[in-house]
Structure 1
Amino acid sequence: MTLLCFLNTLMMATGQMLFKAGSAGKSIGSVLDIIKLFFSPIVFVALCLYAATTGLWLFILSKVPMSHAYPIQALAFPIVLLASMFFFKETISPMKWLGVAIIVCGVFVATRG
């Protein structure tokens, strides 16, 4: 079940990256602009992925304690950080790397008990 939790986290992080890609360079000044953005191909795929992620999350929660499954979701932060560095050429500060290390250690500790 831990692998499904990690898959869920990967799907969630991928959705975030697609949201970023789909909204980059867009002028969003109203609710109507956001609604229009929902129907752009990249954002629409991200929304569908999020729907699938939610379905998988519900399945996971029906099988394992939340106290085991939920900490794994924290790995979305380091995954998105790494992906943003590679795909969006973002600069990652040393403090963010330190934060990632703390998160990864925390997930390791939290899922061992």
Structure 2
Amino acid sequence: MNLKISGHHLEVTPALREYVTTKLDRVLRHFDQVIETAVLLTVDNHREKEKRQKAEINLHLKGKDIFVEICDVDMYAAIDLLIDKLDRQVLRYKNRIQGHPHEALKYQSETLLNEQPAT
């Protein structure tokens, strides 16, 4: 898996990089078919009173891309919320591709024909 962590108006410190990678391990243990991950950490200084910290991630999986973005006052809190949201989406995608709630159409037609009573 390729991991790219970058910052916009923010220097990505080793502590911040380590925090993101340890949090991403939680997501990767659920789903191992991750091809590439791009994390962008941003600080917006539009308002002087309130600095808005934004964390976004683009996860390229086998068969799907998942994009999540979260804004918060604290960068570490934004990363926590981002990973929670990403984890829910990855689990939902994993259940969707692994769960088979319906039989294939070719088998459904055969079972319907066999179950109909003869008149």
Query: Shorter-chain TM-score: which interval?
Result: under 0.3
**Bigger strand share:** 2
* TM-score, normalising length: structure 1: 0.26
Larger Rg: 2
What's the TM-score, normalizing by structure 2? 0.25
Q: Which structure carries more helix by proportion?
A: 1
